[in-house]
Amino acid sequence: MTVPFFFALLGGIIVVGFLANLLFRLTKIPSVLLLIGIGVVLGPVTEIITSDLLVSIAPYIGTLALIIILFEGGLELDIVTVIKQAPRATLLTVLVFVFSVASVFAFAYFIDGFSVVNALLLAAVLGATSPAICIPVVSGLSVRDEIKTLLKLESALGDVLLIVTVVMILDFERTGVQEKSAMVVTFLKSFGVAFFISSVAGVLWSRLISWMGKENLSYMLTLGFMFLLYFVVEELHGSAAIAVLMFGLILANMEVAARRIGKKTQALFGIDIIAEKFVLDEFIKNITAEISFFVRTFFFVYLGLLLNFESLTLLTGISAVLIVLLLLGSRKVGIFVFKMRNRSMTPAELEVVMAMMPRGLATAVMAFLPLQAGIPGVESLPMYAFVAIVLTNIYMTFRIIIAERRLESERKQASLEMESSMYPDEETGEPL
């Protein structure tokens, strides 16, 4: 590949990404599948770009994309809505993850003949959705902010569950030590560390960035600080993904929080918190949106480059398709149980929640970990992961198209009912 052709390729991908993003805004058809398809054509199909070297840098590309996308997602969240939706998101995440892991484990162990450990690894790898895909897609949908927040939190929490579970299984296989409460403790510690560090960092940085928000390179400084935040939280065994999401949330909402608590701190402690000192400059949000578009466009293409199906056998393909169907059923059951305690969603909103089950780079990367750890019998895990990534993204795309049509129908129906109540029948005096 020549240097001019390389840059022509980059330019072409950016143009296609922009047009796909524009198409999404106009038609609500997600651009994810198109961009992944471009990656598949450039990689496995034409071999213009070989995927052998790309696998080794997948954790770095994936982490960079995740940091930027989660930060943008945090900037878009409303803190009051997050507080209200967090318990519901946790319930939905746990329900769907548990049902997904249980069903895939049962199939892999009893039907495919996997060992207990390998079946658990496969189930955990496929058990959660991808925040790097869900967050940008959800942001562009025409649903209530409460539903957007619910799905963003679910994908972020599920990502943590996936990683923690896979690492715990690998640790158990390596050491042979099993503690019943170990996973719960690890999970809670992961959240506790992320919550504390990101809260402190967010409050301090919101004050600093408000002071120097209009300075040159202030965004680059914020980006560098965010990378350091990711490193610190990871080193302390916290959830760096949750920390980045919360960091963005606090930066965007610190002014509102300061207005609410300012009078109380003044009365109780004599500390005057001036809300105007925590205003986030719009430039930060705008440049984050630009960089996020660039990163996620190439991230989705990169994901397509990784999808190599050369070693896919007919039996593995059939099993993978059946497992994806089990994942669909598990999500449906999880949502059904969730709906019993949360009846505020309309049928069209439930369609959106059902649609948001794409697997992404975390699934692909974690599928290679057992191989790198030397676990025997896990050679087919990447194939299962790749099939699941493709099929769940296809499913998400078409289900969202259907859901958006139903949302539009519900809005029209609600509008007609409102007009009917405003203009009663002249003869009867009752609403039309």
Give me the CATH number covering residue 264.
1.20.1530.20
Highest average pLDDT, of 161-165, 330-334, 376-380, 405-409, comes from: 330-334
Please state the rounded mean pLDDT for residues 186-206: 88
Kindly tell me the sign of the dihedral angle through the C-alpha atoms of 273, 276, 281, 282.
Answer: positive
Mean pLDDT of 424-430: 56
How large is the average pLDDT for residues 275-291? Answer: 75
- Tell me the pLDDT band of 426, cut-offs 50, 70 and 90: low
pLDDT computed for residue 193 by the predictor: 92
Q: Is residue 180 part of a domain?
A: yes
Q: What does the block give as tokens for 95?
A: 């329900």
Taking residues 117-146, what's their average pLDDT? 91
| Mean pLDDT taken over the chain | 85
pLDDT over 90 percentage in the chain: 32
> 48-62, 251-265, 386-400, 413-427 — which is least confidently predicted?
413-427
Domain-embedded: residue 57:
yes
> Is 314 part of a structural domain of the chain?
no
pLDDT at 329: 96
pLDDT, average across residues 150-167: 89
- What pLDDT was estimated at residue 237? 86
Q: Is residue 348 part of a domain?
A: yes
Q: Which of 315, 327, 317 lies closest to 103 in space, CA to CA?
A: 327
Is the CB of residue 132 less than 8 Å from the CB of residue 298?
no
> Are 54 and 232 contacting, i.e. CB atoms less than 8 angstroms apart?
no
| Cα–Cα distance for residue pair 11/16, rounded to 1 Å | 9
**96 occurs within a structural domain:** yes
Mean pLDDT, residues 82-91 taken together? 91
Tally of domains in the chain: 1
Quote the distance between the C-alpha of residue 131 and its chain's center.
Answer: 1
Distance of CA 205 to the CA centre of its chain: 24
**Token pair listed for 224:** 């560098």
Residue 9 forms part of a structural domain = yes
Mean pLDDT of 268-276: 54
- How much is the average pLDDT of 242-249? 91
Does 417 reside within a domain? yes
pLDDT value of residue 423: 60
Mean pLDDT score, 219-247: 91
CB 304 within 8 A of CB 39: yes
Model confidence at 244, pLDDT cuts 50, 70, 90, reads very high
What CA–CA distance (Å, rounded) separates 209 from 295? 23
Residue 235 lies in a domain: yes
- pLDDT tens digits along 284-305: 788 888 998 998 888 888 888 8
**What residue numbers bound the domain in which 207 lies?**
3-304+326-422
